[in-house]
Structure 1
């Protein structure tokens, strides 16, 4: 995949800082009382070093790091924990912290590198905002502008290339684990439709509907792509759990390999091809919105790493490329208020959609002739 649109200035770090500045304030004493009330906790809890994240990746959730002194039956112990919570006005109108919590439980139980989740406040009555507490995994997280900032920016081309392929390996292992609806039944209610593809397409269409008018040209563009995808569903295997937001910045690295994979709010029963496409798209789009770097993994290398770990071949690649481009297009609508140059970002993603739609149509026509 090669993109040639002129690059705007990097926008992601400023947009994230602006969004986080408006997030809900969390009272550490209220959080301590919430943890103290949990059935596996004995006696009062004290919180130290409470630090709300104002930088980093992600605009759709608040993150706070803290140390808690907790007695779980063996005397008070210091634990390094993370609170993930609703920021107030959410970018994702259909976001469910309960679904994310239960999904992470299932992935952790399958033996994959996901932080252990501990306590859920689904409605926010305990801590003042919906959210959950999980263990803190030590390591480094790539910045949203991963070529110019963060751990990837400090590496040689060779080491960065190797580490950028590691998440594809994780998603291959997730595919191999084949976590189905029996282990994540809560995800069956995500979206509407008769098939997993229909449910996921409808979920994203509803996100667009909730924040635009029916005659908005951006919504009409989204709806046209949605309708083509819906009408041209390929024959697919049984859906299994996928992450849904496989950006590199959702992986914690330690010693060059994934130590924890974060941000499961978009997880659903679907097809891992879309996660691999997201890595490919992120790799190329950031060359337009961050800085241009050499020797990043190619589409073929991401696919090869995924296939080696999963033991499966990718299927219907052109269709799933368009599925992810469709999601990116919706994302540009709900992120527009946080971006200083939303028109430029829309143009970049719309160009990708146009190219991928042409490729998907060609692949569909070819398969019908075969």
Structure 2
């Protein structure tokens, strides 16, 4: 796949995701809602909201995101700040969106050495915003697009800086995984889905989304993989908080340093291996033939550097690569219901790559995954 093709695919995905998020609501309408929402907070008055806008092309994720400037008086003191609204999309990929959980998770992380935006106000039911959502502080920094090897801040960096940015990403992951999630009060993540063990729960969470979307051909095709992952979950794992959507687009940079880790809606209790292999597996779907730029860490180098930075030895990597391929395959299949058919036909070669990668990896453990014929979207 050429660099032009990769960038066009990334742009098409972002464009459609925005349309799904902002359906039937203009930035001006969001501005009015934000003024009402902020003005309803205790001790707040004289609210002004301006410059409501979408995020740049690096934005992905499954929630809606808007940037804006606001001024207000709080407890008699004038305040002003750039802020960010995150809200549940009108049409989303997954079966479950819990903005309260996202807000509470990030608020818990504020007291740690993992850099996250400060969480400010929550509208759990969408009574004032029109959609469940929350407002958080704006953190200075830029992120890479999903096509990070062909465009954006990492691709544009000098080789030495490109390497430092990847090391910063791995260091941020190591910090996330070092957190005591019980001390942070995150035991509620154990109820994310049915199951007695961490990976079993996450396998079931994605299966719940697949059942919700009623993708019958892929439910039949992927069931053997789902069952195998549950039956073969390693016993000797370190259960940690996983970022979940650990791609470069969810790490803001100031220079070569990570200034914030964002987009926590896919977070779960898993293992370090789940996050470390996530970008590698995702790149095989959308950037599989793109040559690595000088200063780009290979997958094996990322593993080695993560182990150095974290002091952990990664284990059972073939299992967790297959688990990650399963997650990404389900996400790809869910897009069959998410994209309109003209865009879907354009993206189909990429979207079908996720299930194929999962099937190829499954074959290595003796599983035969019989995928539907190409072009099967119902």
Provide the TM-score with structure 1 as the length reference: 0.88
Equivalent residue number for residue 38 of structure 1 = 41
Contact 1:52 1:65 in 2 (8 A): yes
Q: Equivalent residue for 2:17?
A: 19
- Structure possessing the higher relative contact order (Cα contacts under 8 Å, 6 or more residues apart): 1
> Alpha-carbon deviation of 1:361?
6.1
CA distance in 2, matches of 1:31, 1:133: 9
* Structure 1 residue 358: Cα displacement: 4.2
Q: Which runs of 5+ in 2 are unaligned?
A: 368-378
Structure 1: how far apart are the matches of 2:210 and 2:4? 24
Contact 1:280 1:302 in 2 (8 A): no
CA distance in 2: counterparts of 1:180 and 1:272, whole angstroms: 16
The separation in 2 between residues aligned to 1:113 and 1:64, in whole angstroms, is 20
Output aligned runs, 1:125-144, within 5 Å.
Answer: 125-144=127-146
Counterpart for residue 53 of structure 2: 51
Structure 1 residue runs of 5 or longer lacking an equivalent are 363-370
After superposition, the Cα gap between the structure-2 partners of 1:54 and 1:8, relative to the gap in structure 1 and judged at 3 Å, is: closer
**Residue 80 of structure 2: SS of its match in structure 1?**
strand
Q: How far apart are the structure 2 equivalents of 1:274 and 1:193?
A: 18
Within a 5 Å distance, the mapping from 1:328-343 to structure 2 comes to: 328-336=328-336, 337-338=338-339, 339-343=344-348
1:325, CA displacement in angstroms?
0.3
RMSD between aligned alpha carbons? 2.4
Deviations 1:317-358 (A, max 9, x none): 111111100001001111234344443124422342234324
Q: C-alpha deviations, 1:33-67, integer Å up to 9, x for none?
A: 2112222x432311122213374321522111111
TM-score (norm 2): 0.86
Specify whether residues 49 and 8 from structure 1 end up closer, same or farther in structure 2 by C-alpha distance, changes over 3 A only: closer
Whether the aligned pair in 2 keeps the contact of 1:101 and 1:120 (CA below 8 Å) is yes
Tell me whether 63-72 or 338-347 shows the greater mean CA deviation.
Answer: 338-347
Runs ≥4 residues deviating over 6 A: 5-8
Question: Residues of 2 paired with 1:149 and 1:6: CA distance?
Answer: 12
Q: What's the offset of the Cα at 1:162?
A: 2.9
Structure-2 residue corresponding to 1:60:
62
